[in-house]
Amino acid sequence: MKYLAKRSLVIAVFLSIFIPTATTAQAAGELTLDRLFSTGDFFGDGFGPARWLDDGRYTTVEASPSGSGRDIVAYRANTGDREVLVSSEQLTPRGSDTPLGIANYIWSDDDSRLLIFTNTRRVWRANTKGDYWVLDLDDHELFQVGGDAPEATLMFAKFSPDGSRVGYVQEHDLYVQNLETRAITRLTFDGSTTTINGTFDWVYEEELFLRDGFRWSPDGENIAFWQLDATGVRDFLLVNNTDSLYSFVTPVQYPKAGETNSAGRVGVISASGGEPVWMQLDGDPRNNYIARMDWAASSDEIVIQYLNRRQNNNRVMLGDVSNGRVRTVLTETDSAWVDIGNDLRWLDNGSRFTWVSERDGWRRVYVASRDDGRLTPVTPANTDIMSVQLVDEANGWVYYIASPENPTQRYLFRSRLNGRGSAERLSPANQPGTHSYQISPDGRWAFHTYSTFGTPAQIALVQLPDHESVQTLVTNDRLRSTISALTLGETEFFRVEVEPGVELDGWMIKPSDFDPTRKYPVLFFVYGEPWSQTVLDRWGGRTMLWHHYVAEQGYIVMSLDNRGTPAPRGRDWRKVVYGEIGTLASQDQANGARAIAATYRFVDAERLAIWGWSGGGSMTLNAMFRHPDVYQTGMSVAPVPDQRYYDTIYQERYMGTPQNNPEGYRLGSPITYANQLEGNLLLVHGTGDDNVHYQGTEALINRLIEFNKDFTMMSYPNRSHGIFEGRGTTRHLYGLLTRYLRENLRPGGERGTV
């Protein structure tokens, strides 16, 4: 139910493509649906992908002066000196006139070789299949990895530590190719639709954020890898009625809540081939998850995070690669659920490691002993960290994102690894909003991205810790100029009390001709589940601009973050919803709407609407069905009407299993209350949604028919969860939402008792 994109480890690339733009002065000042979704007027500029090198330089990708392809260039951070390391001509295969497209690139540890990922194919959410090419920077030889492997079938290729070999996954098996002899060694031989080596099934990828499933040992002698046995995991069949004369189905191994999971295990195998040594983990592998795995600061042990199915017990275990024996070093528990992150970093030659825990009620960084797991706190008490950005052991710092004073914003801080002294805020005090960083390994430099709710991102090279701006890399001046030419209403952030001592953060967008003496209808934008916030002071792109467009039609648009959303407001704020997803959250939303109508005299309590996507679509249904006295109109996109239909890892994390919490599933599912619908309801879903299945919406339709409830339905054939495939789809969808709102919730400020 997570429509928002997951955060990348590198700076995201937003490349402008040629799409017709507005040309007249009148059009330049007017925000229309066609401009928003059928032109490139509101696309931002991008930077990267960028990589920090160990010598104070960084590399990035730039258009080639030749007019064909892109070059990989290096800049020295302190001087700005530029050097073309790899030209597009060097990336042109023999016999071809076209350079390789660069989807991603990786340097060998000694920077003597370059690995290019190109010709990519989408696997569920991300393009993780494709072709890989190696360029030797000494002799400039370019060759394709994988020998005679079929086109675009390789995954997760990476250099061995000495740069002499490349490991990769093909069709669920592991391979190693020698870069001198080009000889290929196949390491596993049992890969199939149900035996998955070196990568993952749908639910591991979607909910534990695992795609690349193998790791080279530091000495390059061995490879540690996940193997999943998906036998017994039932297929969900996606029916395609439009791409051929006769319909066909695409099976997806998809474990629904309470059903059978894949069995996972971790093995270590010689990079030259042989039999794996399997780690001797206890318990039923179908009722535990290997949530993280890597080498434990040596080539003798691996570190595993072993999570129970209930997801409230995470054991950090060290595994001996010679015999598979494991021992538990640290155990993290919670009465609700334990969050899994990527924040374990080794210190002191592997004798200690960093660890993030909420055990005292706040998400803090600790340093743990390898011997006994004893924890020493590093970051301040009563402050949530959002993510670890860098552990600079040489200088004794940990850099992290936090926002102790304002849950809607994000800033860079650092604290001493020894836990002494006060936290230092490095993000400028005069820049309220959202800051993100890609920090150099030595902590001296960073790519800094900064935006606010109404201001597109700027990217700059900054020097730390003073945060001195050295060079502006992306200004987004064109987009800023386009935005400034528009007639837009004011935006403000606020808080509203929903019960004694509980305040929700919110924002509102007003029409540009707002008149405080009139009463306006309100459209609430909602998500409301533990995966994401909506009330963030950062650039919101075209969705935010569509909300401005709606406001110009005569509405106020608002959003609230209820309890249970992942705001930096303490563990209890986030986890109070355990076992009753949808219940308390929708109550907070309804109470927030009531309080807003009582607080702001310009809000018309008789004209309230709500809309959301994915988890927000589910919340829209809960709001409409549970609180028909509050909302008159709802627009639900790609919802989960019945929580039993969603996957094991996500739904069970917050609810337990349907077997252990049947009443929670019943009470939290909006389908239970379909008989209470009174207002106007629009349901929207893609029939090819592999994430939130169209099945759930069909079940809700049957329920609404059973109770003779009127509603409106729009299905998008074969579209996935994002409903973007196919020419004109996004424009059509937002046109539909706009039209439905106007037809079912009277727009405009009206005279009344204010």
For the record, the structure tokens of 249 come out as: 């189905």
Instruction: Estimate the share of the chain in helix, then strand, then coil, as percent rounded to the nearest 5.
Output: 15, 35, 45
Of the candidates 438, 2, 344, the residue with the CA atom closest to the CA atom of residue 205: 2
The residues near 488 (Cβ < 8 Å, ≥ 6 apart) are 31, 454, 512, 548, 551, 552
CB contact at 8 A, 306 and 290? yes
* 659 within some domain: yes
Domain end point (choices 277, 311, 333): 333
* 81 within some domain: no
DSSP 35: H
Number of domains making up the chain: 2
In this structure, how many other beta carbons lie within 10 angstroms of the beta carbon of residue 281?
Answer: 18
H helix intervals, 45-85: none
Q: What is the pLDDT of residue 20?
A: 45
Q: To which residue do tokens 């534990």 refer? A: 208
Measured between alpha carbons, how far is 467 from 448 in angstroms, rounded to an integer?
9
- Domain with residue 688: its CATH number is 3.40.50.1820
Range of the domain at 325: 187-333
C-alpha dihedral over 116, 120, 122, 126, to 10 degrees?
20
Q: Give the sheet arrangement for strand 346-347, strand by strand.
A: 346-347, 352-357, 364-369, 375-377
Of the candidates 746, 587, 556, 575, the residue with the CA atom closest to the CA atom of residue 668: 587
Q: What is the pLDDT of residue 424?
A: 98
Domain end point (choices 308, 333, 358): 333
Q: To which residue do tokens 């995070």 refer? A: 305
Q: Give backbone dihedrals phi and psi of 153, rounded to 5 degrees, phi first.
A: -120, 0
DSSP code per residue over 711-734: -EEEEETT--TT---STTHHHHHH
3-class SS of residue 284: coil
Q: To which residue do tokens 């024996």 refer? A: 325
For the record, the structure tokens of 483 come out as: 């935005």
Q: What is the pLDDT of residue 486?
A: 96
* 464 within some domain: no
* 367 within some domain: no
Measured between alpha carbons, how far is 443 from 395 in angstroms, rounded to an integer?
9
* 735 within some domain: yes
DSSP 286: G
Domain end point (choices 300, 333, 366): 333
Q: What is the pLDDT of residue 339?
A: 96
Q: Name the maximum alpha-carbon separation found in the chain.
A: 84
DSSP 692: S
Measured between alpha carbons, how far is 105 from 117 in angstroms, rounded to an integer?
6
* 284 within some domain: yes
Mutual angle of helices 615-626 and 583-599, in 10-degree steps: 70
Q: Give backbone dihedrals phi and psi of 291, rounded to 5 degrees, phi first.
A: -80, -30
Q: What is the pLDDT of residue 67?
A: 87
Measured between alpha carbons, how far is 523 from 738 in angstroms, rounded to an integer?
11
The residues near 630 (Cβ < 8 Å, ≥ 6 apart) are 590, 593, 594, 608, 623
Q: What is the pLDDT of residue 5?
A: 36
- Domain with residue 197: its CATH number is 2.140.10.30
Tell me, what amino acid is at 26? Answer: Q
* CA atoms within 13 Å, Cβ hemisphere of 139: 6
Q: What is the pLDDT of residue 27?
A: 65
- Walking along the chain (754 residues) 10 residues at a time, the average pLDDT comes out as 41 36 57 95 93 94 93 96 96 95 95 96 94 95 96 98 98 98 98 98 97 98 98 97 96 98 98 98 98 98 98 98 98 98 96 98 98 96 97 97 98 97 96 98 97 97 97 96 96 97 98 97 98 97 97 98 98 98 97 98 98 98 98 98 98 98 98 98 98 98 98 98 97 98 97 71
Measured between alpha carbons, how far is 3 from 64 in angstroms, rounded to an integer?
35
* 299 within some domain: yes
